[in-house]
Amino acid sequence: MTPMEPAQFPILSTILLSTLLALLVILFIPEHRTRLIKQVSLGFSAVGLMLCIALYFAYDTEKGGLQFVERVLWVKSLGIYYFNAVDGINLPMLVLTSVVLFTGVLTMWELEKRVKEYFALTFLLVAGVYGVFMSMDLFFIFVWYDVSLFPMYPLIAIWGGTRKEYGAMKLTLYLLAGSALILPGILYLWVLGGAGTFDLFELQRIGFTVEAQRIAFVLLYLGFGILAGVWPFHTWSPVGHVAAPTAVSMIHAGVLMKLGAYGILRVGMTLCPEGLVYWADLMALLATIGIVYGAFVGLAQTDLKYVIGYSSVSHMGIVGLGLATMTVDGINGAVFQMFSHGIMTALLFSAVGYIYDRTHTKMIPELGGLSKTMPVASAFFIIAAFCGIGVPCLASFWAELLVFISAVKTYPVRGVFAVMGLVVSALFMLRVVQKTFYGEKNERWEHIPDVPLFLASPRIILVGILVFFGLFPRLILDVIQSAVVPFVNSL
């Protein structure tokens, strides 16, 4: 069993409560006080961000294991614990969530339509995300997972854009289907465990037969994999990205998809290591197809949001491939990729959101030469695009390097195809950059102002994080490795 370090101060519960308290406070503010609602949202998101940063620096990488443990028996007859903790895998995800929420609130500062409902639903969604990332009890993981899905439909259907109702419905149906697979997988393990507990690490200690692990792993992989955008269950993802408002796209692609990959790693791979070994070849194949497919389909897109949506399918394939290698470097790279892709995608959607708000189009042929009229806003997108194609000194470079080295060693043919997919991905991103920000200038956009300092601030934060971890990758890899090494040794 992983060593535990009891919490002296319930910092994880405080992070969770800060989000729920924000939701409660917003509900009591009169609807017309829109500026106050935004200020409250910014304040509470800043509290969550500071607490997550404090948690990050307080985490002891030398000790490793579970730290800041909060464990209280909740329902004795069913063995349900309120059990929160962090290790090197979920700690970066909590920091990612807090950064995306804080920058997402700033990005939506100009929102005027139904401000109260929008921020209330956003905090409910993020509470669910925080809950999944910090819970170590299967019951609470499932409950928080469903809490995070519920607000997506109204957030897209009310504040969304292109085909918003269709996108919201498709996303909801797919994700509920995933949830419907996760529940029987969890109950199956609870019954087979025979100890009457949902405690993740108690169940890991009990262990399961090889046959049971193979069955349970499929249910959990498919259930969480739908949310992770695993090919061929990814089709909800680009549609949802395009339909969603800017900050929801940031949270959706930046954080929510990571819940799926995290669930595969934390629940499926932890409880069913024999199932993982049995299905790893298929996992690697689906991930490789996702990388190549996402890159080629992205090459043909003319809508900026669709381009980002399909690039996310490709980049999440890299995460899946890293997990399927079952090696330290591969899983290190996968978790690092989850973090860096979350920041990078948030920056891409944030940049596109500003461009769309000013031009009212996100069609690439209608744009052009934007770097001459909006150099700062253009720079944000270009930096994120370079991060996506693995340019050195940006965070994704290290993540992708680790995954591809491990993939080529473990699955030589699929690893080579995956690298080729990254090359295609680089082609379509460079094509988008050339056609949208350079080339012939469209006179329609000559008088559009560049992004002001306040609205630039969330993008500057995201760029700073990508560059910081691109220059100092060990600062996050040491944290991740403290959990991945014992995990791989236990397989």
* Per-residue pLDDT tens digits for 418-454: 888 888 888 888 888 888 888 777 778 777 888 888 8
pLDDT score of 12 more than 90: yes
Residue 208 to residues 141, 204, 205, 220, Cα–Cα distance (Å): 20, 8, 9, 15
Contacts of 452 (CB under 8 A, 6+ apart): none
Distance CA 395, CA 473 (A): 7
The confidence score (pLDDT) of residue 4 equals 61
Question: Lowest-confidence range among 7-16, 37-46, 72-81, 234-243?
Answer: 234-243
Please give the tally of structural domains in the chain.
1
Domain span at residue 279?
A: 11-489
pLDDT score of 228 more than 80: yes
Angle at 430 between CA 341 and CA 468, to 5 degrees: 40
* Residue 2 belongs to a domain: no
Angle at 129 between CA 19 and CA 213, to 5 degrees: 150
> Can you tell me the mean pLDDT for 404-427?
89
The confidence score (pLDDT) of residue 464 equals 95
Spell out a b/e string for 51-78, using b for 16 or more CB atoms within 10 Å of the CB, else e: bbeebbeebeeeebbbbbbbbeeeeeee
The confidence score (pLDDT) of residue 193 equals 79
* Residue 6 belongs to a domain: no
* Residue 242 belongs to a domain: yes
Instruction: Classify 356 as helix, strand or coil.
Output: helix
Distance CA 192, CA 282 (A): 25
* Residue 5 belongs to a domain: no
Distance CA 14, CA 4 (A): 19
> Can you tell me the mean pLDDT for 470-480?
94
Contacts of 135 (CB under 8 A, 6+ apart): 83, 84, 141, 144
pLDDT score of 1 more than 80: no
Q: What is the pLDDT of residues 204-226, one digit of tens each?
A: 888 788 999 999 999 999 999 99
- With beta carbons less than 8 A apart as the criterion, state whether 298 and 428 touch: yes
Spell out a b/e string for 282-306, using b for 16 or more CB atoms within 10 Å of the CB, else e: ebbbbbbbbbbbbbbbbbebebbbb
CB atoms within 10 A of CB 214: 17
The confidence score (pLDDT) of residue 303 equals 85
CB atoms within 10 A of CB 149: 20
pLDDT score of 491 more than 80: no
Report phi then psi at 280, rounded to 5.
-60, -40
The confidence score (pLDDT) of residue 263 equals 93
* Residue 4 belongs to a domain: no
* Residue 108 belongs to a domain: yes
The confidence score (pLDDT) of residue 231 equals 86
* Residue 197 belongs to a domain: yes
* Residue 202 belongs to a domain: yes
Confidence of residue 230 (pLDDT cuts 50, 70, 90): confident
Distance CA 180, CA 184 (A): 7
Asked if omega into 232 is within 30° of 0 (cis), the reply is yes
> Can you tell me the mean pLDDT for 231-252?
80
